[in-house]
Chains A and B, each alone.
Chain A
Amino acid sequence: MIERFLMNTHYIVLIGVILLLIIGFFGALTKRNLIKILIALGIADTGVNLFFITIGYISGKTAPIFSKNGLTASQMVDPVPQALVLTAIVIGVAVLALGLSIIIRVYEHYGTLNVSRIKRMRG
């Protein structure tokens, strides 16, 4: 099984994708600091972005740009995941920025970033 993975570029990257997802979700579920949780979710997001790029990549093909004469469509990788990942990255940045600003406010009210102490609303 292992050899089959290492034979192919895709599968090496795929291992990276899964590692990023595991690290991200592990951090999000076990860390107590709000900023660390946000960073962990950002890592998981990166994993997904890498996954998109992986499914668009085809071994031995080039970037989808008609930059010189003689390049034909059949020599290019899938361009759609690249376009989608652009959107996903921008959305990730937006969520991260907004999250940090809300965290600033949370810190102002609670004086801590520890999630186990930010629990005034319950029941």
Chain B
Amino acid sequence: MSLNPILMIAVPLFVAFSIPLLGYIHKKAGLYAMSATLLFNTFLSFSTLPHAFEKPIRVIIAGYKPPFGINLAITPFSIFLACLISLMGFIVSIYLLKDETTETQEKFSMLILLVVMGATGIVLTGDIFNMFVFLEIMSISSYALTSIRKDRKGSEAGIKFLLVGSISSTFLLLGIAIIYNQLGTLNMADIARRFSQMNPKLAFAAVSFLFLGLGIESEMFPLNAWAPDVYQGAPAPVAALFSAVTVKAGLYAMIRFLYTISNNSSFIKLLMLFGIATVIVSELSALKQTDVKRMLGYSSLGQIGVILFAVGIGTKTALEGAVFHFVNHAVLKATMFLSIGLLAKYAGGSSFEELKGIGKKYPFLAGVFAIGALGVMGFPPLNGFMSKLMILTAAAKAEHVVLVMLVLAASVVEGFYYFRVLQVMFREPEPTRIEKRSVSLAFVIPLVVLVGMIVGIGLFPGVLMPYFKGAAMDILSRGDYISVMLSGGGAL
């Protein structure tokens, strides 16, 4: 018998509440506590993984069986994402040990911990209102983290993020209220079981509201105007966390809602079109950027578009590719944001002008960035290649040839602007104004681990393949989810 998965949420909360008091012991105690907690989460999620892949686990809270109480629904897809989220959180937290983003270290570490906890809660919970609460925990800490440096860009991005996020939560609540009125339940499995009993017009309204709300959270095209600002304005490690953790949770909520709860095929089709629009618009906007961090933000949106596109196709291979792309996008974007953050810190800014020739001063950091860029472009030995290939093959099989061409064209554009960055970094003459400083070990370790993951996943994708298959099966097998969650899940 292993530990109860509820501890993945209870322990971070306990630590977050005690961080203000830990400050009395040592100034940096909060940071170390945060890192240790995320390590614990990683350990716990990985140790739950094999059990959940055998049979989904249902964890009951407060002793009431669903649908009467809240429960955690630990299915292959959700535990796989929980592993990804806590692992990425832990890697970023090592980086943060030495990072001086803000003078309010204590509050900063609390917010980071709660962002990761909120994302974990979203992927694990089995109750739709509880998911909303975790979504709000995640977004409110994101707003604060975006503007934590109190500089101009951060504040502007933060307020935009907050206003849009608050509209999103209004829509989500409206949708949940309509569902509750019709079915009298908030448990996701119970809603899924009886979704067809809803009045069709009201069901359409509820799905549209939730689609809009979750579309904002998952950065879907017409609703993502705030996202590049946030990626540019937020501190680099926070931006890494956003693209590796919070977007993943938003996408999870979208997929879980469309596939498991409502099973609405027309909205899933719509997701495909929005995905394509996201890819094209963001890759084209990335082309004309002069700030590397903002460009990375657009490129991140492009990758999300690819995931949305794959989710919209809806075949088993496409979903496997989508889950694979989840992992790749998280690893690659975290690598790039962390390395560009350090480079920008040493160069004094993240615009093309300021990064000229930085590759010659800091070959290691710029090299890491280059590996990440090559991975995103999809160079064969690296990990980005396999997942894109899977998605495009699946799309071609589903006879969306035009859309495949569009994604390929967008990838060419992507290659173009990344090469431009690399050229600025490596081909320009070495700058004289930047002095060489030594890079702390706390920065090097996460970057090395991430690069190891990029190369490792690229060389041996077969190791992870059973997990992708299991997660994709989980997304598609709606009946299993309902029966397991309502009648009792597997043992721990």
Interface of A toward B, CB cutoff 8 Å: 24, 28, 34, 37-38, 41, 44-45, 48, 51-52, 55, 80-81, 84, 87-88, 91, 94-95, 98-99, 102-103, 105-106, 108-110, 118, 120-121, 123
- The binding surface of chain B is classed by DSSP as helix
Whose C-beta in chain B lies nearest to the C-beta of A96? Answer: B166
A120 to B170, CA, bound (A): 28
Assembled-state Cα–Cα distance A99/B156 (Å) = 11
Q: Is B105 among interface residues, defined by CB-CB distance under 8 A?
A: no
Instruction: List B contacts of A52 (CB < 8 A).
Output: 173, 177
Asked if A121 meets B156 with Cβ closer than 8 Å, knowing A52-B177, A98-B140, A102-B147, the reply is: yes
Stretch at the interface among B56-64, B87-95, B157-165, B435-443: B157-165
| Residue numbers in A under 8 Å from B155 (CB-CB) | 102, 105-106, 108-109
Query: Are B170 and A45 in contact, with the CB atoms below 8 A?
Result: yes
User: Chain A contacts of B229 at CB under 8 A?
Assistant: 121
B232 contacts A121, C-beta separation under 8 Å: yes
The interface residues of chain A lying within 8 Å CB-to-CB of B232 are: 121
Q: Could you say which interface size class chain B belongs to?
A: 35 or more
Interface residues of B in 124-170 (CB under 8 A from A): 129, 133, 136, 140, 143-144, 147, 150-153, 155-159, 162-163, 165-167, 169-170
Q: Contact at B180–A102, with CB atoms within 8 Å?
A: no
Interface SS of chain A: helix
- Are B167 and A41 within 8 A (Cβ)? yes
Interfacial chain B residues near A87, Cβ < 8 Å:
129, 133
A99 contacts B166, C-beta separation under 8 Å: yes
Q: Check if A95 sits within 8 Å of B170, measured CB to CB.
A: no
Give me 8 A-to-B residue pairs in the complex whose CB atoms sit less than 8 angstroms apart, sorted by A's number: A28-B167, A48-B174, A55-B181, A84-B176, A98-B143, A98-B144, A106-B159, A123-B294
Chain A residue numbers with a CB within 8 Å of B156 are 106, 109-110, 118, 120-121
**B residues near A44, Cβ cutoff 8 Å:** 167, 170
Which of A38, A84, A91, A121 interacts with B233 by CB under 8 Å?
A121
How far apart sit A106 and B165, CA to CA, in the bound complex (Å)? 18
Given A87-B133, A94-B140, A41–B163 Cβ distance below 8 Å? yes
> Which residues of chain B come closer than 8 Å to A110, judged between CB atoms?
152, 156
CB distance from B143 to the nearest CB of A (A): 6
Q: Residues of A contacting B18 with CB < 8 Å?
A: none
Asked if B177 and A51 sit within 8 Å, CB to CB, the answer is yes
Decide if B173 touches A102 in the complex (CB within 8 Å): no
Q: Is the CB of B162 within 8 A of A102?
A: yes
A91-B136 contact, Cβ under 8 Å, with A48-B173, A105-B147, A121-B229: yes
Is the CB of B208 closer than 8 A to any CB of chain A? no
Which chain A positions have C-beta within 8 A of B140? 91, 94-95, 98
Contact between chains at A120 and B152 (CB < 8 Å): yes
Contact A109–B173 (Cβ < 8 Å): no
Instruction: Assess the A120–B147 pair: CB atoms within 8 A.
Output: no
Q: Nearest 9 A-B pairs (CB), nearest first?
A: A109-B152, A105-B155, A55-B181, A106-B155, A48-B173, A102-B158, A102-B159, A41-B166, A121-B229
Residues of the A chain whose Cβ atoms lie less than 8 Å from the Cβ of B186: 80
Task: Tell me the bound Cα distance from A52 to B176 in angstroms.
Answer: 9
Q: A51-B174, A81-B180, A102-B155 are in contact. Are A37 and B163 (CB under 8 A)?
A: yes
Question: Which chain B residues border A51 with CB–CB below 8 Å?
Answer: 174, 177
A72 to B289, CA, bound (A): 66
| B433 interface residue per 8 A CB criterion | no
Whether B288 is near chain A, meaning CB under 8 Å from some CB there, is: yes
The reply on B199 being an interface residue by CB < 8 A is no
Residue of A55, A84, A118 with highest tally of chain B CB at under 10 A: A84
Given the complex of chains A and B, what is the CA–CA distance between A47 and B290 in angstroms?
Answer: 42
